[in-house]
């Protein structure tokens, strides 16, 4: 029996802590509360989730420059050609998955210099290599080589080798919002938001196509295509979820039999959920390599830029704290002549911000509940 007392619950101080006015736990014998005035204190705001760790922000390796073409007089030359630029590579992306494609070599000025079957036609440039990860027409694919004797090639114009495609970019997802609450050892706690997820390593760019050879006037062999830049490493970790806000309960009963009479119970203000942590940034991809110089021939293609490493997602915001005059779990309550006053729900935690322009933020946390009385249905799902 507890009677004729005015109880003022303390405001919770520790991050995410709950304020309780009167707590009745595991009391099989009936507890009588009579002529009480209980003003719950406020729940405390929860801690923010930690930010995700970014990868190094030094860009990944640039693709190599293609070898130069040249224009000169000779009897026959079917071997000289600008070499393709080397691919950018990145050991920070596992399994070589961030490596770009090498550029394609330029076309030669003649086809066949043998005595028996000479052929003085220039040849097309070679197609650039695909990056380690590629999808035709989408990312990382090598560019086609330029055709031989493209119109205007003697002036350096005409259809060039195609550029390699930029590398794959795959960011992580944002974390889900904290939703609902649970009882842990008979104490109440709002659920934290979920952490974001990691993205994938950035893919390398495709190699540029080589420039074609040109027989117009003095012969010229083509330039090599540029190498694809390497993809960047993904962020090291994702933004963590914000913790759940503290609750505010005037009378809180678990596993008990309680009779409440002629009392006034007033909830306080629930604590705000914690903000999700910011996502981490992936490593910038390597720049594209340019094609070589191309006197007297059409240009070679440039490599594709490496994709940046995946940004990790921001964390979800924490559930806001609940506020109830009377809150119970697995209890038998009898009431008469009481006044129950609702408090104020805690705000949901803010979304964890995205990393970079194209990263994913976390979800905004769910606002708390406020009311006169509520029952927790299960310890893991209140
Ligand atoms: Ca020729
Ligand atoms: Ca020429």
Q: Check residue 201 and give its pLDDT.
A: 98
Calculate ∠ Cα 45-47-52, nearest 5°: 150
E strands present in the chain: 2-3, 6-8, 19-25, 31-34, 37-39, 70-71, 181-184, 187-190, 220-221, 248-254, 257-261, 264-266, 323-329, 332-336, 339-341, 370-376
Q: From the CA of 215, how far away is ligand 1's center (Å)?
A: 5
What separation in Å is there between the alpha carbon of 293 and the centre of ligand 1? Answer: 19
Helix, coil or strand: residue 165: coil
Instruction: Measure 134 CA to ligand 1 centroid, in angstroms.
Output: 35
- Ligand 2 centroid to Cα of residue 221, in Å, is 9
- Ligand closest to Cα of 213 equals 1
Q: CB–CB of 280/193 below 8 Å? A: no
Contact of 9 with 237, CB cutoff 8 Å: no
Cα-to-centroid distance, 223 and ligand 2 (Å): 14
Ligand 1 centre distance from Cα of residue 334 (Å) = 103
Ligand sitting nearest the alpha carbon of 216: 2
CA of 84 to the centre of ligand 2 (A): 21
**Distance of alpha carbon 57 from alpha carbon 55, whole angstroms:** 6
Model pTM? 0.90
Cα(102) to centroid(ligand 2), Å: 27
Q: How far is the CA of 68 from the centre of ligand 2 (A)?
A: 15
pLDDT for res 29: 85
Q: Could you tell me the two tokens for 185?
A: 């050892």
User: What local confidence, expressed as pLDDT, does residue 37 receive?
Assistant: 98
- At 370 the pLDDT is 97
Q: Residue 372: which of 263, 274, 259 has the closest Cα?
A: 263
pLDDT at 28: 79
Q: Check residue 38 and give its pLDDT.
A: 98
pLDDT reported for residue 27:
85
- Which residue ranges of the chain lie beneath pLDDT 70? none
Q: What is the pLDDT of residue 1?
A: 84
């Amino acid at each position: 029996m507890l009677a004729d007392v005015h109880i003022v619950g303390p405001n919770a101080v520790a991050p995410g802590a709950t304020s309780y006015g009167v707590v009745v736990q595991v009391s099989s014998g009936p507890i009588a509360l009579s002529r009480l005035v209980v003003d719950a204190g406020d729940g405390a705001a929860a801690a923010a989730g930690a930010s995700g760790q970014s990868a190094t922000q030094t860009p990944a390796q640039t693709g190599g420059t293609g070898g130069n073409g040249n224009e000169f007089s000779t009897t026959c030359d079917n071997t000289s050609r600008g070499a393709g630029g080397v691919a950018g590579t990145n050991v920070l992306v596992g399994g070589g998955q961030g490596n770009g494609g090498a550029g394609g070599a330029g076309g030669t000025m003649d086809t066949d210099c043998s005595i028996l079957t000479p052929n003085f036609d220039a040849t097309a440039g070679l197609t650039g290599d695909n990056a380690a990860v590629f999808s035709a027409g989408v990312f990382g694919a090598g560019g086609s080589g330029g055709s031989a004797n493209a119109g205007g090639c003697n002036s350096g114009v005409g259809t060039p080798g195609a550029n390699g495609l930029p590398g794959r970019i795959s960011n992580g997802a944002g974390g889900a919002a904290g939703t609902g609450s649970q009882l842990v050892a008979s104490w109440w706690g709002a659920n934290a938001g979920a952490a974001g997820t990691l993205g994938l390593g950035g893919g390398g760019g495709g190699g540029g196509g080589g420039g074609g050879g040109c027989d117009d006037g003095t012969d010229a062999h083509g330039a090599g295509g540029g190498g694809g830049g390497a993809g960047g490493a993904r962020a090291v970790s994702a933004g963590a979820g914000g913790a759940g806000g503290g609750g505010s309960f005037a009378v809180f009963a678990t596993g008990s039999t309680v009779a409440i009479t002629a009392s006034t119970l007033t909830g306080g203000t629930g604590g705000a959920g914690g903000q999700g942590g910011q996502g981490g940034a992936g490593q910038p991809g390597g720049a594209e390599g340019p094609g070589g110089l191309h006197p007297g021939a059409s240009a070679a293609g440039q490599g594709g830029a490496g994709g940046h490493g995946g940004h990790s997602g921001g964390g979800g915001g924490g559930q806001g704290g609940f506020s109830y005059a009377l809150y119970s779990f697995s209890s038998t309550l009898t009431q008469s002549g009481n006044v129950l006053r609702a408090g104020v729900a805690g705000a949901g935690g803010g979304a964890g911000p995205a990393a970079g322009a194209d990263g994913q933020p976390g979800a905004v946390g769910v606002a708390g509940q406020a009311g006169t009385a509520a029952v927790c249905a299960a310890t893991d799902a209140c």
